[in-house]
Structure 1
Amino acid sequence: FNSVLGKFLLFCKGADSSIFPRVQQDEIQQTKVHVERNAMDGYRTLCVAFKELTQEDYKKINDQLSEAKMALQDREEKMARIFDDIEADMHLIGATAVEDRLQEHAAETIEALQTAGMKVWVLTGDKMETAKSTCYASRLFQTNTELLELTTKTMGDSDRKEERLHELLLEYHKKLLQDFPKNSGKLKRSWTVSQEYGLIIDGSTLSLILNPSQDSSSSNYKSIFLQICLKCTSVLCCRMAPLQKAQIVRMVKNTKGNPITLSIGDGANDVSMILEAHVGIGIKGKEGRQAARNSDYAVPKFKHLRKLLLAHGHLYYVRIAHLVQYFFYKNLCFILPQFLYQFFCGFSQQPLYDAAYLTMYNICFTSLPILAYSLLEQHINVETLTSDPRLYMKISDNAMLQWKPFLYWTFLGSFEGLVFFFGVYFLFQNSSLEHNGKVFGNWTFGTIVFTVLVFTVTLKLALDTRFWTWMNHFVIWGSLAFYVFFSFFWGGIIWPFLKQQRMYFVFAHMVTSVSTWLAIVLLIFISLSPEILLVVFKNRRRSRREFKKKLSNRKASDSLSSRRSVRPLLLRTFSDESNV
């Protein structure tokens, strides 16, 4: 309120596309030139306007707002209509231009994510020129990238916007289909692609695609638009409202193949997008902490996204995939001998293992090694994963949880289960395993099978471990030592609370037999032989590949040095003449 003039002053700020329609048209031209020039230079622009209101006008507006706030139906629409009436015929004050610099290593991070095979989309509320300059600065668009625009400029201001949109969509779709074959839906940036395409779309055009009019034949707008987006190396969505950002994320989530989406932002206008994505990451910054508080993960700077995804994301996927398949494998090894035993005991439901072993197998004997593996394993060190983004492509598309690795683990579990049971079964063809003629019973049979089982599945995990720490050593060798100690302890004492002592002195008696020791060692080696052969084959293949790489590098360096040793013809001529 201006006490001198006795009037109220209403100030309004916003984007040029929102302010210019609300001000006097003769005041726009000069400011518009400055706004466009600053936007081309990469500055974030903002326009400011004002309007004078008399006390009568203020009272009238206040009464209208109070009435709209009390409405039980269409409250938002009524308030928006009043605000539109208030903000009409304003006077333009001017525009501001603020330099919003890219964070350090932002361009390198985006380039690394694209090299890793990820599609990067930019969803922003900035002006198109500003957003385009930012994309070039962050290397999302390269100098050879051909830009396909779906904006108000390309659509025109005519009444046939939807027809023009349909024509542009078909034109771009046809161009992309001609340049790329059908299998290029997962197009990644590489030097093998002759032409890269980038798509630019603004909020108003996106509204026509996502919410077409009922009387138009535009039901396939969305599917054509999605096909265009998937064939472009990068997509820029500018002039986006917060809810439109969430709509984009939801649209990508529901496409064929159900891709995993990740949203990252630093402001309150990014919250809806962060909540909509499978994984939401908030950046703690000057824009406030709303994004960080509503996210799954929070990082101080954008550059930390590289390590978060390429290193920690890679490692935890490998750990969890191995954890899931190892649990399936070790329980298949555990159950298969029990299943086979029923064919040799007249289907009498006689258990192969003692009740204590059945209870302790997954709780104590085999749980800690895989837990330590799933928390600590680093099959490739963090520095290598961060520096070489192409390594991430080895686990893309859920590579470790496909049918091929699943069938391998199933084969390994079935093979080892058969070796456990029939190896001990053939050992027991002669039930007298000692020189004094003493025989072993069915509990000894089950204990030998269980001993081979525990040692084999634990040593299998030891073979898979590439990153050894004191904790890995402690839980792997400690679990085996605990099993031996528990077996001696469980069968070495007469427990008063047990009605029958089936395992009394069974384990201690078993380990006195040389044949039992030989059978345990031999069966463990036979069970692990496929894994050992696979490791040897992989190591030889890796060493051969590294040798060829070194040889090719040496040849390249030799040819380069030989070229440098040859003097240019002009210099050789002058030096030869001088020596004459």
Structure 2
Amino acid sequence: MIQAAHAGIGIDAKEGKQASLAADFSITQFHHICRLFLVHGRFCYKRSCSLSQFVIHRGLILSVIQAIFSWMFFFVSFSFYPGVLLVGYATAFTMFPVFSLVLDRDITSAEAFLFPQMYGILRKGRSLSIKTFCIWLMISLYQGTVVMCGSYVGVYDNNFVELMATSFTALVFTELIMIALTIHKWHWAMYLSQAISLICFMGSMLYFNEYFNLKFITSSNFMLRTSLIILLACLPIYIIKVTRGALSASTSYNQIY
């Protein structure tokens, strides 16, 4: 029966350890089941949803940029970003902040015990559904379009290196800002992951001179235009997020009471 359930829970008691060894989760006392469901279950679900969504977003926005680049340049068959930058984007530049979302908490443990009705809301599956996937798809389409088109209009003057440097810088900072906007309660590991990512990216800009012209990336024109692209990519999403958060907070309050 334990193995047939969606989540088998066994109690390590005097009767023996067979149930706890066969179960997915093992507890020492029956009253611990409340904490297992209301606290650990909620945090695991919310964190898994956030992590999955950002893994999807991180890949989609890159695909959108590549698609727009191919369309702009008569459907060329080569990658817009070199392989070393793609590897850096998937690892050192964005990996640590994305995986730091597993430490995020939308509420405290005490609040989860105080309002057990919030666990019932999770059973509706609204945090990770087709609707949320479509939302992140639209966000990726918008931000990828802004990053690529903004870089092309802003700096492109028969200089492919400047176009690549501007768009890639805006891409990395957009992803880091989006992660920061998603975090509910900051943990020291989140600050550290953001700092490590920024240091690695800044170091790569100085090391890979063939991709980042030092004179260009230190100019005021590059900083101003890149900042404007990042602002256009993130500010509308932040405004929508705040508005939806205010509306959903009132809705959740009514559902709880």
Give your verdict on TM over 0.5.
Answer: yes
The one-letter code matched in structure 2 to 1:421 is M
SS in 2 for 1:397: coil
Q: Structure 1 residues 275 and 539 mapped into 2: Cα distance closer, same or farther (>3 Å)? A: closer
Residue matched to 2:17? 289
Q: How many Å apart are 1:542 and its aligned residue? A: 7.4
1:338·1:352 contact (CA, 8 Å) conserved in 2? yes
Q: Structure 1 residues 281 and 542 mapped into 2: Cα distance closer, same or farther (>3 Å)? A: closer
Normalised TM-score (structure 2) = 0.91
Cα distance in 2 between the residues matched to 1:315 and 1:445: 41
Q: How many Å apart are 1:472 and its aligned residue? A: 0.5
The one-letter code matched in structure 2 to 1:371 is F
SS in 2 for 1:282: strand
Cα distance in 1 between the residues matched to 2:168 and 2:94: 12
Q: Could you tell me which of 228, 234, 239 is aligned with 1:522? A: 228
Q: Could you tell me which of 191, 209, 217 is aligned with 1:511? A: 217
Cα distance in 2 between the residues matched to 1:343 and 1:327: 25
Q: How many Å apart are 1:394 and its aligned residue? A: 2.1
Residue matched to 1:162? none
Q: Structure 1 residues 463 and 294 mapped into 2: Cα distance closer, same or farther (>3 Å)? A: same
1:284·1:299 contact (CA, 8 Å) conserved in 2? yes
Q: How many Å apart are 1:386 and its aligned residue? A: 1.8
2:155·2:162 contact (CA, 8 Å) conserved in 1? no
Q: How many Å apart are 1:356 and its aligned residue? A: 1.1
1:385 is the counterpart of 2:112: yes
Cα distance in 1 between the residues matched to 2:216 and 2:47: 37
2:161·2:213 contact (CA, 8 Å) conserved in 1? no
Residue matched to 1:316? 44
1:353·1:443 contact (CA, 8 Å) conserved in 2? no
Q: Could you tell me which of 57, 81, 88 is aligned with 1:360? A: 88
SS in 2 for 1:401: coil
Q: Could you tell me which of 154, 158, 163 is aligned with 1:427? A: 154
Q: How large is the RMSD of aligned CA atoms in angstroms?
A: 2.1
The one-letter code matched in structure 2 to 1:516 is F
Residue matched to 1:412? 139
Residue matched to 1:26? none
SS in 2 for 1:329: helix
Matches within 5 A, 1:401-550: 401-428=128-155, 431=157, 441-491=159-209, 502-503=210-211, 506-538=212-244, 540-541=246-247, 545=250
1:354·1:443 contact (CA, 8 Å) conserved in 2? no
Q: How many Å apart are 1:538 and its aligned residue? A: 4.3
Cα distance in 1 between the residues matched to 2:94 and 2:222: 22
1:321·1:400 contact (CA, 8 Å) conserved in 2? yes
2:104·2:187 contact (CA, 8 Å) conserved in 1? no
Cα distance in 2 between the residues matched to 1:538 and 1:325: 17
Q: Structure 1 residues 540 and 310 mapped into 2: Cα distance closer, same or farther (>3 Å)? A: closer
Matches within 5 A, 1:135-214: none
Bigger radius of gyration? 1
1:302 is the counterpart of 2:46: no
Q: How many Å apart are 1:416 and its aligned residue? A: 0.1
1:429-488 superposed Cα distances (whole Å, 9 cap, x missing partner): 5x2xxxxxxxx7202211211110010011101011112111100001321221111221
1:282·1:293 contact (CA, 8 Å) conserved in 2? yes
* Ranges in structure 1 where 5+ consecutive residues have no aligned partner: 1-272, 432-439, 492-501, 550-580
Q: Structure 1 residues 312 and 343 mapped into 2: Cα distance closer, same or farther (>3 Å)? A: same
* Ranges in structure 2 where 5+ consecutive residues have no aligned partner: none
Matches within 5 A, 1:60-71: none
Q: How many Å apart are 1:399 and its aligned residue? A: 2.0
Q: Structure 1 residues 536 and 397 mapped into 2: Cα distance closer, same or farther (>3 Å)? A: closer
Cα distance in 1 between the residues matched to 2:168 and 2:106: 30
Residue matched to 1:158? none
Cα distance in 2 between the residues matched to 1:535 and 1:405: 13
SS in 2 for 1:286: coil
1:319·1:377 contact (CA, 8 Å) conserved in 2? yes
Q: How many Å apart are 1:286 and its aligned residue? A: 1.9
The one-letter code matched in structure 2 to 1:423 is G
Cα distance in 2 between the residues matched to 1:302 and 1:382: 18
SS in 1 for 2:8: strand
Structure with the largest fraction of helix: 2
Aligned residues: 253
Identity of matched residues, %: 25
1:281·1:296 contact (CA, 8 Å) conserved in 2? yes
Q: Structure 1 residues 411 and 469 mapped into 2: Cα distance closer, same or farther (>3 Å)? A: same
| Larger RCO (alpha carbons 8 Å, 6+ apart) | 2
2:10·2:25 contact (CA, 8 Å) conserved in 1? yes
Cα distance in 2 between the residues matched to 1:297 and 1:539: 33
1:353·1:447 contact (CA, 8 Å) conserved in 2? no
Structure with the largest fraction of strand: 1
After the TM superposition, which segments of 4 or more aligned residues of structure 1 sit over 4 Å from their partners? 538-543
